[in-house]
Structure 1
Amino acid sequence: MKNKFRFRKESIISIIASILIFIFFNLLFYNKMPDSLPTHWNFNSEVDSYGTRFEAMIGIHIFLIAMNIFLCFMLDNDPKNKKQNNFVITISKFSIPTIMFIIYLITVLSGFGIDVKATNIITPFVGLLFIAIGNYMPKIKRNYTVGIKLPWTLNSDENWRRTHRVGGYSFIFAGILFLIMTFFRYEFLILIPFIICMLIPMIYSFYLYRKGV
């Protein structure tokens, strides 16, 4: 039986949303922006990299649109996701349009000379995203594109289930740390939530594998 190429409804909405965001911000603000715009901020909300107006308003976002199309394609054509309609997959599909909107908002405000504390916007968003993902992570069924994809989780449904239950708690805890970090300005702290999300599920999954799970 031939497998059909497909995009689900929410994927089409996500792709259209990212394109509309791109068109909206460029029609309204492109010609009003200065020739040089900030493209990167450090953890102290200080601009440490600038780019041309074309790079900041068009180049970066064309790349994000392409990434969004690729992500939706991978999610919708994963054989393990045919019968899976999980909230985490939906979050994944709408994450890039949301990121595009936030980046455009920060860039445009900076272009108008408004002092924007980028980390005060991005860090809480990442924290809430981690909490949402962590809350629904235990409900993800084994697949090839979404979740904690390790050799041991992909090898066993039970290992996958247990690891994602622990991973859910890890993501929620990491998300809370991100929210707390909004009030601090120490760059090394950003590593702590990522270490929690990566190491704890990985170690636990390998531990289960060694026990034969």
Structure 2
Amino acid sequence: MKKEISKTRIILFIVAVISFIIHLFIYPKLPAQIPIQWSSTGEVNTYGAKYMDLVIAGIPVLIVPLMVIMPKIDPRKANYAKHGQAYTIAMTGITLLLIGCSWLSALSALGYDVHIETVLSVAMGILFIAIGNSMPQIRSNYFFGIRTPWTLENPDVWRKTHRFGGILFCIMGLLFIIGAFFKSEIFSTVLVVILAVGSVALTYLYSYILYRRLG
């Protein structure tokens, strides 16, 4: 299992590097300004300088080594052996999403109609569901998972909070996928606020209540 995980991370890094190299080849064809942010209806909100294409494409190349290094410097690094598969799922999903975003931006800049608002929302939904399903496997550490003062203090609080968080992540994923097919700015804004603020608040409150009960 450990060799398979290491092989996956090597392949992931190679994919990120190849993606960056291809971006270098298409760079001369890009316009002076490229789209880097869209509204929920698919309208471009923000343009960036041409060099931002390489910045966005380079982030996944840096993310993979960083995520490989973090477990090695974590004081609770022994626990990564217990949730290596969950960590690899998160690393793979995040890296591929970032690579995908770099290409959505580049293709849009080149004039292709990519429907980024739909593709990105579905991709994020799939990522949340994948991570949510693996969250109960995550063991206590300082870099990965729901790290509140109470989960880090009590292993039982950590375990139960991640079980609860996994359910929340799956629900968020489904809502992202459903939201991909709504072109309402209001719906998407409310959805993001509820998911981002509500989920963080719920997990913090849940872990605190558990800690008080078990303490």
* Distance 1:123-1:11 versus aligned 2 partners, 3 A rule: same
Supply the AA of the counterpart residue of 1:154. L
Deviation at 1:76, TM superposition (A): 4.2
SS at match of 2:178: helix
Report matched runs for 1:112-123 at 5 Å: 112-123=110-121
> Which of residues 131, 134, 145 is equivalent to 2:132?
134
> Which of residues 50, 55, 69 is equivalent to 1:53?
50
Residue 106 of structure 1 contacts residue 116 of structure 1 at CA under 8 Å; is this kept in 2?
A: yes
Distance 1:44 1:96 in 2: 23
Report matched runs for 1:4-153 at 5 Å: 8-27=6-25, 29-56=26-53, 58-78=54-74, 79-153=77-151
> Which of residues 187, 203, 206 is equivalent to 1:204?
206
Residue 16 of structure 2 contacts residue 61 of structure 2 at CA under 8 Å; is this kept in 1?
A: yes
Distance 1:148 1:82 in 2: 15
What is the CA deviation profile of residues 50-88 of structure 1, one whole-angstrom value per residue up to 9, with x for unaligned ones?
1222222x1222244223322221134432445224332
Residue 41 of structure 1 contacts residue 49 of structure 1 at CA under 8 Å; is this kept in 2?
A: yes
Q: Which runs of 5+ in 1 are unaligned?
A: 1-6
More helix by share: 2
Distance 1:61 1:109 in 2: 13
* Distance 1:180-1:164 versus aligned 2 partners, 3 A rule: same
Deviation at 1:89, TM superposition (A): 0.4
Deviation at 1:153, TM superposition (A): 0.6
Coordinate RMSD, CA, aligned: 2.1
What is the CA deviation profile of residues 120-173 of structure 1, one whole-angstrom value per residue up to 9, with x for unaligned ones?
011111111111111111111111211111111111111111111111111111
Q: How many residues of Structure 1 are paired with residues of Structure 2 in the alignment?
A: 205
SS at match of 2:81: coil
Residue 131 of structure 2 contacts residue 169 of structure 2 at CA under 8 Å; is this kept in 1?
A: yes
Deviation at 1:96, TM superposition (A): 4.1
Supply the AA of the counterpart residue of 1:93. M
Between the aligned residues of both structures, percent identity stands at 33
Distance 1:90 1:83 in 2: 11
Q: Which runs of 5+ in 2 are unaligned?
A: none
Question: What residue is the counterpart of 1:191 in the other structure?
Answer: 193
Distance 1:50 1:197 in 2: 30
Q: TM-score if structure 2 supplies the norm length?
A: 0.85
